[in-house]
Amino acid sequence: MDITTLGNQRIDQKTFEQLLKHIKLKVTEEYSFPPEIITCGGATIATLGNFSASVGKPKSKKTFNVSAIVAAAISGKEILGYKAHLPENKNKILYIDTEQSKYHCHKVLERILKLANLPLNKESGLIDFFVLREYTPEQRRDIITLALRGDSQYGLVVIDGVRDLLRDINNPSEALDIINDLMRWSSFYDLHIHTVLHLNKGDDNTRGHIGSELNNKAETVLQITKNIDDSNMSEVKAMFIRDKEFAPFAFRIDNNGLPDYVEGYKAELARRDKKMHFSRLTEEQHREAIESVIGDNVPLGYSKMINLLTDGYSNIGYSRGRNTIINLLRYLIEMGLILKIDKAYQYVPQKSVSENQPEDSENDSLV
């Protein structure tokens, strides 16, 4: 029996011939557009045989957005503007979480079932939820492969934490391997894969080489952003999409802990945000931004403080250039949230402005 090598795998001649038959394109055959399974505002978000992503900074409520997508796919109802339809023979969902404990994953599963109006006292049979926090990246990928191989009814697969399928997020070879897995899984098993990935703290770029590859190869990349005026509101827009763009929308978390569509929302955040002065931010928002990057209120040098403030305010959706951050630092000193000591700067946690107002006029000078 003739043996050949495909990558690192040895296959026999018969298998190789079957592979060639599968990948060969013929002009005499007809190829239909892949079935769309998820839409939003008339735009196609997901089709079978492709993959997509939800991205956002920490605490932007990415998982809430994904929960709505999954609930729409299970129930067939419109949820947060998402409409989903899975084929009858591929109407199951596989949800993979790589980051959270079983307790927190259980809360996500309950949220999905509540959104879909399904009972919590029995298994639905339409969703399998796997918790892979304790496994290595290689083991997680093997488990996903075995799960897809074992159930042909999966039509939608969610990987919440695709970064955890590789060891080094900045390794281009590993990133390419993961993207190839996503393309192979989605194509070979004729399903759609939706992944979740963090954005960089300092900007709106997806993290590492895996983020760059996702942007290049994904069918759709949804960006979820925390509203700067209302911390309980998150906004969703298409960062990249092959189909026409849908109108950005927003959702809030209601009293039951479920995402609720914001009626009458207009996507004016970008224009409003560019004009918004930092003095309009509340003290709570300033503290949230500062404390997200400064763990201990130890004195810091000027450049270090500027860099940290840039990242911190970007975390709350207020991304600004260096000149604005320099003026912002002056403002924080005037507010008493930052204390200047000689050439060092120190965060002052939870004290009144009057108590921390510097008396020495030299504190008005930054450098």
| Helical packing angle, 322-335 and 302-315, nearest 10° | 100
129 in any annotated domain: yes
CATH code for the domain of 134: 3.40.50.300
Contact 331, 279 (CB under 8 A): yes
On whether both 118 and 162 belong to a single domain, the answer is yes
pLDDT (mean) for 119-145: 94
Assess whether pLDDT exceeds 60 at residue 9: yes
The predicted pLDDT at position 361 comes to: 37
**CA atoms of 222 and 195, how far apart (whole Å):** 10
**pLDDT top residue among 32 and 324:** 324
CA 314 to chain centre: 16
Q: Which of 256, 271, 286 is the last residue of a domain?
A: 271
pLDDT digits (tens, 9 = 90+) for 205-234: 666 778 788 888 899 999 998 887 777 889
Extract the tokens encoding 301. 């040098």
Whether the predicted pLDDT of 201 surpasses 70:
no
Number of compact structural domains in the chain: 2
For residue 362, pLDDT over 70 is answered with: no
Q: Is 242 a domain residue?
A: yes
Both 254 and 360 in one domain: the answer is: no
> Model-level pTM?
0.70
Q: What is the pLDDT of residue 366?
A: 42
Which alpha helices (DSSP H) does the chain contain, by range? Answer: 13-23, 62-75, 102-115, 137-150, 172-188, 208-217, 269-275, 283-291, 302-315, 322-335, 353-356
Residue 304 resides in a domain? yes
Q: Are residues 193 and 170 in the same domain?
A: yes
Same domain, residue pair 180 and 225: yes
161 and 246 within one domain = yes
Regarding whether 125 and 182 lie in a shared domain, the answer is: yes
CA distance 165 to 136: 8
Report, as an integer, the average pLDDT of 288-296.
Answer: 83
In a domain, 169, yes or no: yes
Looking at the structure, do residues 309 and 228 belong to the same domain, yes or no? Answer: no
Strands 154-160 and 92-97: parallel
Which CATH number goes with the domain that contains 322? 1.10.10
Domain enclosing residue 41, as ranges: 34-271
Among residues 226, 248, 271, which one ends one of the domains?
Answer: 271
Decide if 9 is inside a domain: no
Whether the pLDDT of residue 122 is over 80: the answer is: yes
Does residue 288 share a domain with residue 208? no
The answer to the question of residue 217 being in a domain is yes
Amino acid residing at 51: F
- Say whether both 51 and 163 belong to one domain: yes
Residue-wise pLDDT for 33-57, tens only, equals: 688 999 998 899 999 999 999 998 8
152 and 89 inside one domain: yes
Taking only the tens place, the pLDDT of each residue in 180-189 is 999 999 999 9
Whether residue 321 sits in one domain with residue 205: no
| pLDDT reported for residue 2 | 57
Question: 315 and 181 share a domain?
Answer: no
pLDDT at 214: 83
Place 1 in a pLDDT band, splitting at 50, 70 and 90: very low
The CA-based angle 137-142-148, given to 5 degrees, is 130
**In whole angstroms, what is the distance from residue 43 CA to residue 236 CA?**
14
Decide which of 210, 241, 271 is a domain's last residue.
271
Share of the chain above pLDDT 90, in %: 50
Q: What is the mean pLDDT of the chain?
A: 85
Structural domain contains residue 87: yes
Q: By percentage, how much of the chain surpasses pLDDT 70?
A: 86
Mean pLDDT score, 262-287: 70
Q: How far apart are CA 247 and CA 268, in angstroms?
A: 11
Residue 93 bridge partners (DSSP): 127, 156
